[in-house]
Amino acid sequence: MDNTRVLVTGGSGFLGSHLCERLLNDGCEVLCVDNFFTGRRSNISHLLTHPRFELMRHDVTFPLYVEVDQIYNLACPASPVHYQHDPVQTTKTSVHGAINMLGLAKRLRAKILQASTSEVYGDPDIHPQPEGYWGHVNPIGPRSCYDEGKRCAETLFFDYFRQHRLRIKVVRIFNTYGPRMHPNDGRVVSNFIVQALSGQPITIYGDGSQTRSFCYVDDLIEALVRMMNTGDDFTGPVNVGNPDEYSMLQLAREIIRLTGSRSEIVFKQLPTDDPKQRQPDIALAREKLGWQASTSLQDGLEKTIGYFAERIESLNQTPNAIN
């Protein structure tokens, strides 16, 4: 992969920054593009002096004219707090962003990977979710800007593949966690950890029986890179996630144990259209990528807790002031 020129949209975000770091370690030239709506410069500050790293502030809803060999399209707010803040812009980021990046890939004949999501399955009535499942999605609910935006992006990718023979890769990412998560993004792992470290009540929405499957970020990045480097005959979509399933109550209790917190658990009303179950069927990832998650929940949580503990201490502020 030496000297491969790679564009990462959303490159200063949680996943994007880890991907940029991995690609540099693999010998690539990396162009990180971000409008910093949810991405943070601090996530990639340690890369700014790297001779093969370049940062460009740009919104993917506008065309981009650069020269690259590969494109990882990760640009889109991915947590409910952020994608519901400006739902119209969220949909435009998924749809217009996909159109612009696909147009760029078409001009360059570059290989392009779409970071899709398990949210394309909605609130599933099949468990675990295989790639052949079409989903159970509310097209007009408060989460639709993200769910349907990502579904439409997948449609565009496959239409470009069929109509223009574009070299596409589509990955459906399930819940991922790790260092550089935004502490105020409303995702369950970061929420629980910040609350536990600060001694605040841990808030569970619903009765805590709803389940998620948590994949550590390093495992996820490995899958993205493997997917990009598969042959042109394999487009996906392919599920990437850790099939080990935990209830929200189990996760909260594990984080309390690992942090030594005395936080109590409180229950609040479940948000509209919140999925009751989420677990990937990763048989295809095992077959095509030779991949499965290798980081245990305890090991991943310990690394993530250490990251948030350092940030809270260094900023000497309340968790809500972290940005």
Structural domains counted in the chain: 2
Q: Are residues 160 and 29 in the same domain?
A: yes
Q: Are residues 55 and 195 in the same domain?
A: no
Residue listed under structure tokens 């409303």: 186
Does pLDDT of 81 surpass 80? no
Q: pLDDT confidence of 85, banded at 50, 70, 90?
A: confident
Does pLDDT of 178 surpass 80? yes
Q: Are residues 74 and 141 in the same domain?
A: yes
Output the average pLDDT for the chain.
Answer: 92
Determine the 3-state secondary structure of 154 from DSSP.
helix
Share of the chain above pLDDT 70, in %: 95
Taking residues 217-239, what's their average pLDDT? 97
Q: Are residues 142 and 268 in the same domain?
A: no
Query: DSSP of 9-26, one letter per residue?
Result: ETTTSHHHHHHHHHHHHT
Q: Are residues 160 and 207 in the same domain?
A: no
Give the pLDDT confidence of 118-159 residue by residue, as tens digits: 999 998 888 899 999 999 999 998 988 889 999 999 999 999
Cα separation, 74 vs 114, whole angstroms? 7
Is 160 tagged catalytic? no
Cα separation, 8 vs 29, whole angstroms? 11
- Predicted pLDDT of residue 82: 66
Phi-psi region of 186 (alpha: psi -120 to 50; beta: other; left: phi over 0): left
**What tokens appear for 169 in the block?**
């890769």
Please tell me which residue in 72, 83, 146, 216 is annotated as part of the active site.
146
Structural domain of residue 252, as residue ranges? 188-212+244-278+294-321
Residue listed under structure tokens 């349907």: 148
258: domain CATH number is 3.90.25.10
Residue 133 lies in a domain: yes
Residue listed under structure tokens 């910093």: 36
Query: DSSP of 191-225, one letter per residue?
Result: HHHHHHHHTPPEEEESSS--EEE-EEHHHHHHHHH
